[in-house]
């Protein structure tokens, strides 16, 4: 018996048996429903033959993208705010709803004073943040000033959805992500931020520790990874189909920290789930270098955009600040800037959607800010830039 995730659709209009049997129905009328259970191989086969079940995939572990610690706390404001030109923008993200899928949030931190934080725990560890990662990401997106230091990009965001999908140890399961994505859509999130990764190497290690031969463990983990990719793509397809109803959030994800350019320049790893899923804006991390910006040694390749991710100062549980690095720190910069563009379009009389906000982010990204010989595979379309 293994743990499996099933996806079925709940339709907002009557769907005929012929539509179900042929798959000829519109996802614009569908709400995804995720469930998990222990299943035998026979039960899995039976579920896959049920026309009301869209997908049955093995569950797999997920984890936060572990940040790289800084040597000391930076005593200056978050330098990334100036780098993405949010300091010059007249927009502050007012009226935009942001969802963060992470380790929770310290809702009592002064950086979030006056905000409406809607929390939901998917991890079974309880609301709140005993890890710090989620609070740090939230601070970069919409944190208010702290002691005269600006840490947040979109300080006008008043309502945020906080889905705790990773436990206090930074670990979780993939069904938590899928359930939180559908919750965020139903709660009318405009933007969803994901600084986490599907743990393919960790799954192999756990299976080997349980006595599986390495080749079988790798094959099983590949099956789970492929299935979870299809699941993520299926949920993104629902998001895309429902754009006409104004319930299509823009999903932004960190590319990952597995590259090791500090050892050898060729030691670069491609972005993985969820950054590798269809219609997700993936984010690489850059740092400061001789008046320009350079890709971080740890940042994975093939991301669509780049953002500040080295020595980023933001909120930390307990009311203080902490300086850390990672694509986890770059992703919130893009999320914050996306909130500014969302507000810009709305105030310009244009209906903001995931598609046209993503287009603005890509078309306004800058490439002339990087050190010479920067590879496009390292920084994508360029450094994200505020309106």
Task: List residues with catalytic annotation.
Answer: 102, 133, 328
Beta bridge partners of 366: 383
Pair 240, 248: CB distance under 8 Å: yes
Residue 181 parent element (H or E): helix 174-186
| Tokens at 67, concatenated | 């940040």
Q: Would you list the DSSP string of 289-347?
A: ETTEEEE-TTPPBS-SEEEE-SSEEEEETTTEEEEEESHHHHHHHHHHHHHHHHHHHHH
349, 298 contact by CB (below 8 A): no
Q: To 10 degrees, the CA torsion angle through 351, 92, 370, 361?
A: -10
Residue 287 φ then ψ, to 5°? -130, 175
C-alpha span between 350 and 185 (Å, rounded): 21
| Number of CB atoms found within 10 A of residue 260's CB | 14
Nearest by Cα to 64 from 140, 114, 157, 132: 132
* Contact residues for 211 (Cβ-Cβ < 8 A; gap 6+): none
Residue 48: enclosing H or E segment and its boundaries? helix 41-48
- Per the listing, tokens 């050190």 go with 371
How far apart, in Å, are the Cα atoms of 224 and each of 23, 26, 34, 123? Answer: 24, 27, 16, 20
Any idea what DSSP says for residue 258? -
Name residue 289's beta-bridge partners. Answer: 292
């Amino acid at each position: 018996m293994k743990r499996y995730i099933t996806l079925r659709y709940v339709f907002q209009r009557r769907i005929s048996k012929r539509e179900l049997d042929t798959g000829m129905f519109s996802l614009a009328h569908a709400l995804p429903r995720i469930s998990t259970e222990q299943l035998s191989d026979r039960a899995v086969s039976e579920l896959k033959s049920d026309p009301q079940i869209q997908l049955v995939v093995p569950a797999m572990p997920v984890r936060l993208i572990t940040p790289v610690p800084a040597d000391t706390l930076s005593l200056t404001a978050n330098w990334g705010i100036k780098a993405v030109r949010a300091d010059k923008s007249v927009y502050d993200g007012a009226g935009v709803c942001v969802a963060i899928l992470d380790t929770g949030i310290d809702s009592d931190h002064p950086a979030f004073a006056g905000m409406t934080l809607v929390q939901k725990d998917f991890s079974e560890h309880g609301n709140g943040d005993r890890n710090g990662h989620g609070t740090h990401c939230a601070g970069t997106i919409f944190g208010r000033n702290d002691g005269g230091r600006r840490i947040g990009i979109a300080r006008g965001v008043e309502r945020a959805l906080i889905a705790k999908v990773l436990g206090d140890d930074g670990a979780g399961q993939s069904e938590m992500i899928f359930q939180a994505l559908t919750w965020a859509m139903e709660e009318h999130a405009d933007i969803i931020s994901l600084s986490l990764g599907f743990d393919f190497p960790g799954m192999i290690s756990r299976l080997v520790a349980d006595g599986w031969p390495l080749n079988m463990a790798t094959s099983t983990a590949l099956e789970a990874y492929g299935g979870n990719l299809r699941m993520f793509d299926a949920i993104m397809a629902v998001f895309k189909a429902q754009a006409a109803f104004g319930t299509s959030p823009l999903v932004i994800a960190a590319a990952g920290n597995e590259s090791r350019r500090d050892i050898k320049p060729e030691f670069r790893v491609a972005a993985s789930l969820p950054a590798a899923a269809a219609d997700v804006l993936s984010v690489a991390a850059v740092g400061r270098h001789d008046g320009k910006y350079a890709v971080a040694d740890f940042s994975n390749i093939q991301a669509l955009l780049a953002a500040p991710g080295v020595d980023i100062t933001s909120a930390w549980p307990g009311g203080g600040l902490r300086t850390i690095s990672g694509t986890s720190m770059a992703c919130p910069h893009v999320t914050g800037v996306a909130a500014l563009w969302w507000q810009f379009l709305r105030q310009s009389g244009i209906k903001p959607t995931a598609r046209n906000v993503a287009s603005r982010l890509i078309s306004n990204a800058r490439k002339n800010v990087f050190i010479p010989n920067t590879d496009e595979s390292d920084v994508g379309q360029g450094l994200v830039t505020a309106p």
